[in-house]
Amino acid sequence: MRINVTRSALPPKEEYFEEIAFLWDSRWLTNMGEKHQTLERMLQEYFNAPNVTLFTNGHLALEGALAAFGLTGEVITTPFTFASTTHAIIRCGCKPVFCDVDPETYTLDPAKIEALITPETSAIVPVHVYGTLCDVEAIETVAKKHGLKVIYDAAHAFGVRKDGVSAACFGDASMFSFHATKVFHTVEGGCVVYREEALKHVLDRGKNFGIEGEDILSPEPNAKMSEFHAAMGICNLRRIELMIAMRKQVVERYRYNLAGVSGLTLLKEQPGVASNYAYFPVVFDGAKYTRDEAAARLGEEGIYARKYFYPLTNHCTAYGFRGDETPVAKRVSDHVLCLPLYPELAMEDVDRICEIIT
């Protein structure tokens, strides 16, 4: 049987059907109905964060957040991410300025931020890659000193906590993606979590054509989450802790099998951080064969690992950057492979994958 890098979790059919049954009576299918309101409340509780606004996907949530803060000029960010992060900055009319990453965590290197700040800089958009938390304290220190906003792309970090505090609670705002491939999903979906309550109506307007009362204040997109998607989120949130615990077992098995294998670098565990075990990246550096050879060999066995994140976004044709300003990120991107990881992945399959690799 084919093994993909991920496999979407689903609740029991009956539970989902029960959750959506009353929509046949209410006929309130979208536009911030009861399921939408319930999921926003449940997420506020789950994150222990004051404000949550749902979106139709993570990407539009990130664009919504950047727009809500009225960012202009330059935004310091990482190229070691999915294109969505860079797209959002550019589509909001800003210029991404690429900062290199830390060689161990693959997240924005705070020591390299300050040299990139100019009078045009308005914000920092770091990414909690693979669910590994950025150095949130160091980033906050730089941001405070220079009066910059910090908006996290937390698409990978659902369920991650540092000393009990949710990843959602750092910076001015965080975007989460609820895409089907993510640790928690609503099929398609996303949200923004933020400190300032005053942003609520800006974000609500920003996902609904800019409508305010009978007027339209700005030409915004439609980025609302439907009741069917919110209902999926309600069901999935009920068993998120179990899903993360099952992922943890898979990751522990990988670690047990691959620890100490020469030429393979595994992601470090972060002290004080409860991981969500979202991805299992392996860096092939000096191993018997290259990352691409390993991926091809796994493919012959019907096992589809993925090169997250390759290419770097500062190498994508879309933006026209030269991309040589981030050598550490380049090195990771050229050697990293994410192995299959999902709650029901069988231990025998993990062992088989490891055998092929070693």
Ligand X SMILES: *Cc1c(COP(=O)(O)O)cnc(C)c1O
Q: Which residues are near ligand X by CB under 6 A?
A: 57-59, 81-82, 84-85, 127, 153, 155-156, 177, 179, 190
CB-CB contact of 356 with 298 (8 Å): yes
> What is the SS3 assignment for 172?
coil
Least Å from the CB of residue 85 to ligand X: 5
Q: Is the CB of 82 or the CB of 280 nearer to ligand X?
A: 82
Residue number with the shortest CB distance to ligand X? 58
Least Å from the CB of residue 80 to ligand X: 9
Question: What does the chain come to in residues?
Answer: 358
Q: Is the CB of 113 or the CB of 192 nearer to ligand X?
A: 192
Least Å from the CB of residue 342 to ligand X: 15
- Chain centre distance of CA 220: 23
Q: Is the CB of 154 or the CB of 354 nearer to ligand X?
A: 154
Least Å from the CB of residue 176 to ligand X: 8
CB-CB contact of 44 with 51 (8 Å): yes
Closest to 67 (Cα-Cα) out of 88, 49, 85, 83: 88
Strands (E), 276-334: 280-284, 303-304
Q: Is the CB of 3 or the CB of 338 nearer to ligand X?
A: 338
Residue 99, Cβ neighbours under 10 Å: how many?
Answer: 23
Least Å from the CB of residue 22 to ligand X: 27
* DSSP bridge partners of 280: 339
Q: Is the CB of 38 or the CB of 181 nearer to ligand X?
A: 181
Closest to 126 (Cα-Cα) out of 72, 89, 160: 89
Tokens of 92: 């909001």
